[in-house]
Amino acid sequence: MENVPGFIRGPSAAVPMIAETLNKFNAEVGTCYELQYRVLNAVDYGVPQRRERAILVAVRDGQVFNWPEPTHCGQPVRAWDALADLVAEDAPIASGRWADLLPSIPEGMNYQWHTDRGGGKPLFGYRTRYWSFLLKLAKNEPGWTIPAQPGPATGPFHWDSRPLTIRELLRLQTFPSNWKVVGEYRTQLRQIGNATPPLLAEVMGRALGEQLFGLAYERKPEFAISRKRSVPGPSRARPVARKYLDLEGEHPSHPGSGRGPKPIVKREVLDAQEKSQGFPSRG
């Protein structure tokens, strides 16, 4: 089984219910299913995207499942590796109130560049916006998690300061190049953002094939993306557009868990999210 990380951890985790159900099933029919689960980050297996997924395995005879070892720790497949050969025909244009602020944010950063803890102008308070607000890809890093229902200011955006094309999104998810999704743009975004990277599924499938069926795989995974020898340097960020300069000034940081104007995620959860996304620490 596969799902979001909250499926196996946190107060609403489904693990207790699944384990109880398996135990009842074992008692009724004599099987030995024992639930094993783990959160895997797709980037560790060659997916050019930081994307955590909960994986659950139960083998009928109780066999212990050996989780596949990460193959790309320290040498992840980067956004440039995945997208460099794609021609962005009819690329979407950034829209909304913040579209013209995107060019002033460096690759790999988000709105926090324009806080008192970033390197830009103090236009926002630290941690007062959601993580993916104005979030951009960096050529030399894996992509950020692709959302299913992004708003006009929700990243990840291309390093050229525009939304990603459907083909680019599919590539970051490691779908085969001949695959297509149907529907209008937002419908296609939802399908892609809700999907599990095929490469991660292939890695898990191979592990199951080897351990349960004695299969051997001599070739690299079919959905693998190779790292290129070199990556161009980052695009230069532009000055902040004049229309945003009236926002410059002192902006308080978020006051902390439970003390903001709206319900927020706890600080430690935000810290963990930033760490998993590879965002540089701001102290």
pLDDT for 151 beyond 60: yes
Which pLDDT band holds residue 90 (cuts at 50, 70, 90)? confident
pLDDT of amino acid 261: 59
Transcribe the chain into DSSP letters: -EE-GGGTSSTT-SHHHHHHHHHHHHHHH------EEEEEEGGGGT-SB--EEEEEE--TT-PPP-PPPPS-TTSPPPHHHHHTT---TT-----STTGGGGGGSPTT--GGGGSTTSSS---S-TT-S-TTBT-B--TTSPBPPPPSS--TTBSPBPTTSSPPPHHHHHHHTT--TT----SSHHHHHHHHHHSPPHHHHHHHHHHHHHHHH-----SPPTT--PPPS--PPPPPPPPPPGGGGGG-S--PPP--TT-SSS----HHHHHHHHHHHTPPP--
pLDDT at 162: 96
CA distance linking residue 112 with residue 250, whole number of Å:
14
Best CA proximity match to 38, nearest among 61, 11, 60, 15: 15
- Residue 156, preceding peptide bond in cis (omega within 30° of 0): yes
Sorted by where each begins, the domain ranges of the chain are 2-75, 76-283
What average pLDDT does this structure show over 157-161? 97
**Please, are residues 113 and 105 in contact by the beta-carbon 8 Å criterion?**
yes
pLDDT of 282 = 42
Asked if residue 190 has pLDDT above 90, the reply is yes
User: Percentage of the chain surpassing pLDDT 70?
Assistant: 91
The identity of residue 172, as a single letter, is L
What pLDDT is attached to residue 271?
54
Tens digits of per-residue pLDDT, 62-82?
999 999 999 999 999 999 999
Tokens of 29: 């029919």
Query: What distance in Å separates the CA atoms of residue 227 and residue 78, rounded to the nearest whole number?
Result: 7
Between CA 254 and CA 259, with CA 255 as vertex, the angle to 5 degrees is 115
- Evaluate if residue 147 carries a pLDDT over 70: yes
Tokens 């419908």 sit on residue: 187
Whether residue 281 has pLDDT greater than 60: no
The pLDDT assigned to 257 comes to: 72
Give the C-alpha separation, 76 to 36, whole Å. Answer: 26
Residue range 4-60, pLDDT digits in tens: 999 999 989 999 999 999 999 999 999 999 999 999 999 999 999 999 999 999 999
Q: What backbone torsions phi and psi does residue 244 show, to the nearest 5 degrees?
A: -100, -5
Whether 266 has a pLDDT exceeding 80, the answer reads: no
pLDDT band of residue 263 (cuts 50, 70, 90) is very low
Q: Return the percentage of the chain with pLDDT > 90, whole number.
A: 86
Nearest CA among 226, 227, 223 for reference residue 177? 223
Mean pLDDT of 133-157: 96
Residue type, 121: K
Per-residue model confidence (pLDDT) at position 88? 84
Check whether 153 has a pLDDT greater than 90: yes
Position with higher pLDDT, 155 vs 274: 155
Residue 249 has pLDDT above 50, yes or no: yes
